[in-house]
Amino acid sequence: MKFPNCNCYKLTQKLKTFVAFSICIATLPFSSVPVVCDTKQDLIYEKRPKVLLIGDSISIGYTPQVQQQLVDIAYVERIDGNAASTMNGLKKIDSWLYGKNFDIIHFNWGLHDIAYRNESSIHKNKLDKLNGKKKVEIEDYRSNLKNLVERLKKTGAVLIWASTTAVPDNEPGRFPKDVVAYNSAASIIMQNNQIMTNDLYSISKSFDQDMFVAPNNVHFSKLGSSLLANNVAEAIKRQIR
């Protein structure tokens, strides 16, 4: 696949190759052993497409393995910190993208948007779906996500939406039905913008309990994160081949 930002990489690589070759030639007269001036491997490595992962702590869990699986064919980086809710995304999206070019962006918002929190809750994260307030109502989520998609489209990168992962029935701050509703709203936005979806919801929905770090917790064990990483890596690979 031809990536929209590759021209600048090609120009940069030509310059790097020229400099490397010039240094190599310049040192030949002073070398006592044969020198092979081969920049081919560096050139191939540097021309890897650049990938950005945007997401909450779920993406933090699968990022290292995605990077490992794609190291030979793509340069994968993740935003600093937690993408959190769409409200946080709108505040920080420009800083995440400023001065950088990406060929592929894999992104998600959702779990923080549907979270109910109560400052009086004894839960360490103040989760409380019985007496708390939802972070972002679905109409605001829909509006925020539309604006985020418009901003991401301006990068010229190939965009991949990751559906929000499943929530256990007795999770203290979220309702499973909200994941379905918010994923449905996001799906329409992605379809309208011709953005492909990586269905992490369906994969995580099928997970056994040992795939989660603890009962009634939205976070995944190493095994669960590994399976998500496999899927994310494959979704990205399909856009590189």
Distance CA 89, CA 142 (A): 13
DSSP 150-212: HHHHTTT-EEEEEPPPP--TT-TT--HHHHHHHHHHHHHHHHHTT-EEE-HHHHHHT--GGGB
pLDDT digits (tens, 9 = 90+) for 162-185: 999 999 999 999 999 999 999 999
Residue in the structure block whose two tokens are 């979220």? 174
pLDDT digits (tens, 9 = 90+) for 69-83: 999 999 999 999 999
| Full domain range(s) for residue 57 | 48-240
Q: Are residues 120 and 1 in the same domain?
A: no
Q: Are residues 20 and 99 in the same domain?
A: no
Q: Are residues 227 and 136 in the same domain?
A: yes
Q: Which amino acid is at 228?
A: L
Q: Are residues 161 and 132 in the same domain?
A: yes
Q: Are residues 118 and 5 in the same domain?
A: no
Q: Are residues 41 and 152 in the same domain?
A: no
Domain count along the chain: 2
pLDDT digits (tens, 9 = 90+) for 57-71: 999 999 999 999 999
Q: What is the pTM of this model?
A: 0.83
Q: Are residues 66 and 156 in the same domain?
A: yes
Q: Are residues 35 and 52 in the same domain?
A: no
Q: Which of 10, 25, 47 is the last residue of a domain?
A: 47
Q: Is residue 196 classed as helix, strand or coil in its secondary structure?
A: strand
Q: Which of 16, 32, 47 is the last residue of a domain?
A: 47
Q: Which of 47, 67, 82 is the last residue of a domain?
A: 47
Taking residues 35-52, report their average pLDDT: 65
Q: Are residues 17 and 69 in the same domain?
A: no
Q: Are residues 34 and 122 in the same domain?
A: no
Whether 10 shows a pLDDT value over 90: the answer reads: no
Q: Are residues 64 and 151 in the same domain?
A: yes
CATH of the domain at 179: 3.40.50.1110
Distance CA 126, CA 120 (A): 7
Distance CA 64, CA 225 (A): 10
Q: Are residues 22 and 80 in the same domain?
A: no
